[in-house]
């Protein structure tokens, strides 16, 4: 049984999800409603025993396992290593274990601790960078600044994790659109993750950002501005062999390629859509 709601990255759609923690230990970002109804906590040993027993009845030989909820990496290193050993024992067929990672969790752990966690079997980490701009990060109450985001990402890559970063297109609003594009390009380039995905800001009615919009403190980008921002961001990326995806349901234009190798082609495609009078955005502002 899971404690709902339950989230995982799109690329973990076929993974077995083991819910080690509930919620997000930060839980303050103004645009995010994912875990607002949950108090962050680690499941007790008894709960975890029961949970794993239940999962084993349904998933016989999972090859991919995602550890939920928000940031399992905030567990003490010893505890996390023991957990990873247990997951491998209980599901010997597993070939890849992944989880979300909060920037402060990565910063708090030493390089040696991160390497031990990697060696214990956690292979792929996802980090929501959201924006590279200090002003946008602060406005959204992300709890870290640009430098910390870079430090966290570089530590993860150095420790040997496969690393996936995500930026939210439109998160600077009209006022900080250019800064959001340029500074996000700077942070992603400095980290040079293995995977980079671009989602579009979708505002949930229950979020604090919805109030900001209502009160006139934040102005959403138009679809054309979103494409302009995406173009500026991609034009300023300096990446080596990074798998890029913008194929989430929120994206106006589906994009996939490898950066920087395919950058010119990706930018040209975005410009073609932007300049086309047939450009009709998919989805809506509030999915
Ligand atoms: S965006 Fe991530 S860190 Fe921020 S509240 Fe949501 S889950 Fe937590």
Q: Which domains does the chain have, with CATH numbers?
A: 10-275 (3.20.20.70)
Which residues of the chain, if any, have pLDDT below 50? 286-287
> What is the pLDDT, as a whole number, of residue 205?
95
> What is the pLDDT, as a whole number, of residue 152?
98
Q: Which atom of ligand 1 approaches the CA of 128 most closely? A: 2
**C-beta neighbour count of 253 within 10 angstroms:** 20
State the alpha helices, DSSP H only, in 16-142. Answer: 45-58, 77-90, 103-108, 111-119, 134-139
Q: How many whole angstroms from 286 Cα to the centroid of ligand 1?
A: 18
30 lines ligand 1 (CB under 6 A): no
132 lines ligand 1 (CB under 6 A): no
Minimal-distance CA residue to ligand 1 atom 5: 27
Alpha carbons 79 and 73: distance in angstroms, whole number: 10
> What is the pLDDT, as a whole number, of residue 277?
73
Q: How many whole angstroms from 59 Cα to the centroid of ligand 1?
A: 28
> What is the pLDDT, as a whole number, of residue 209?
98
Half-sphere exposure of 8 (CA within 13 A, CB side): 20
Q: How many whole angstroms from 122 Cα to the centroid of ligand 1?
A: 21
> What is the pLDDT, as a whole number, of residue 285?
52
Alpha carbons 239 and 233: distance in angstroms, whole number: 12
24 lines ligand 1 (CB under 6 A): yes
> What is the pLDDT, as a whole number, of residue 129?
98
Q: Which two tokens mark 285?
A: 């502002």
Q: Which atom of ligand 1 approaches the CA of 32 most closely? A: 6
Q: How many whole angstroms from 278 Cα to the centroid of ligand 1?
A: 36
35 lines ligand 1 (CB under 6 A): yes
26 lines ligand 1 (CB under 6 A): yes
DSSP, collapsed to helix, strand or coil, labels residue 270 as helix
Alpha carbons 273 and 110: distance in angstroms, whole number: 45
Q: How many whole angstroms from 92 Cα to the centroid of ligand 1?
A: 31
Minimal-distance CA residue to ligand 1 atom 8: 27
Q: Which atom of ligand 1 approaches the CA of 24 most closely? A: 8
Alpha carbons 218 and 175: distance in angstroms, whole number: 8
């Amino acid at each position: 049984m899971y404690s709902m709601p339950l989230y995982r990255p799109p690329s973990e759609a076929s993974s077995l999800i083991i819910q080690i923690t509930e919620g997000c230990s930060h839980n303050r970002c103004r645009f995010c409603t994912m875990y607002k109804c949950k108090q962050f906590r680690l499941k007790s040993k008894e709960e975890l025993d029961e949970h794993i027993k239940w999962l084993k009845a349904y998933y016989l030989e999972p090859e991919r396992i995602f550890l939920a909820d928000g940031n399992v990496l905030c567990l003490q290193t010893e505890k996390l290593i023991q957990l990873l050993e247990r997951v491998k024992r209980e599901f010997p067929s597993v070939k890849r274990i992944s989880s979300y990672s909060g920037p402060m969790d990565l910063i708090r752990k030493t390089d040696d601790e991160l390497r031990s966690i990697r060696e214990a079997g956690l292979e792929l980490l996802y980090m929501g960078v959201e924006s590279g701009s200090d002003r946008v990060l602060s406005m959204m109450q992300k709890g870290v600044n640009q430098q910390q985001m870079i430090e966290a990402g570089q530590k993860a890559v150095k420790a040997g994790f496969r690393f996936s970063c995500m930026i939210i297109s439109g998160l600077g609003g009209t006022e900080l659109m250019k800064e959001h594009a340029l500074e996000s390009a700077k942070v992603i380039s400095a980290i040079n993750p293995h995977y980079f995905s671009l989602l579009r800001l979708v505002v949930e009615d229950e979020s604090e950002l919805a109030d900001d919009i209502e009160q006139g403190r934040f102005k959403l980008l138009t679809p054309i501005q979103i494409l302009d921002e995406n173009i500026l961001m991609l034009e300023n990326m300096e990446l080596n062999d990074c798998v890029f995806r913008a194929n989430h349901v929120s994206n106006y234009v589906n994009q996939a390629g490898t950066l920087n190798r395919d950058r010119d082609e990706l930018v040209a495609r975005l410009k073609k859509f932007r300049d086309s009078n047939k450009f009709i955005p998919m989805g809506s502002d509030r999915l």
